[in-house]
Structures are given as C-alpha cells and as structure tokens.
Amino acid sequence: MDGEVLRDDQWEKVKSFVPGGRKGKRGPRSDGRRFFDALLWMARSGARWRDLPE
C-alpha cells in the first residue's frame, strides 16, 4: 500500500476527527490511522469491507 497512506503532516490535521485510541467496552479500539487509511483505500478502489486486507 505504499503511496496510498497519509503522510504524517496530513494525518496530524485529521487525527482529531478520527475515533479510536481509547478503550471501548469490549477492549481497546483499533488504531485510528490504520482505520482511516482503510477508508481511503476503499474510496479509491471501490472495494467492499470484506475485501479489506488484514
């Protein structure tokens, strides 16, 4: 996925809008940056949730 993720300066601008990083009722939430990168990948590729790489 090189070239398809946010640069550090871009991530700093949006990270306050992305949930995650806190402990939820069922345990720790996933990494917000990784989740946001997955959303961007889906928007570019038109993939379905089940097609996401693990």
Q: How many domains does the chain fold into? A: 1
b/e sequence 6-29, b meaning 16+ C-beta within 10 Å: eeeeeeeeeeeeeeeeeeeeeeee
User: For 5, what's the count of Cα atoms within 13 Å in the CB-facing half-sphere?
Assistant: 12
- Whole domain around residue 35: which residue ranges? 8-51
> Looking at the domain assignment, is residue 1 inside a domain?
no
Per-residue pLDDT of the chain (54 residues; tens, 9 = 90+): 455 578 899 989 988 887 765 666 666 566 788 888 878 888 888 878 787 667
What sign for the dihedral angle of Cα 33, 19, 48, 50? Answer: positive
First to last CA, the chain: 12
pLDDT at 45: 83
> Looking at the domain assignment, is residue 3 inside a domain?
no
> Looking at the domain assignment, is residue 25 inside a domain?
yes
> Looking at the domain assignment, is residue 12 inside a domain?
yes
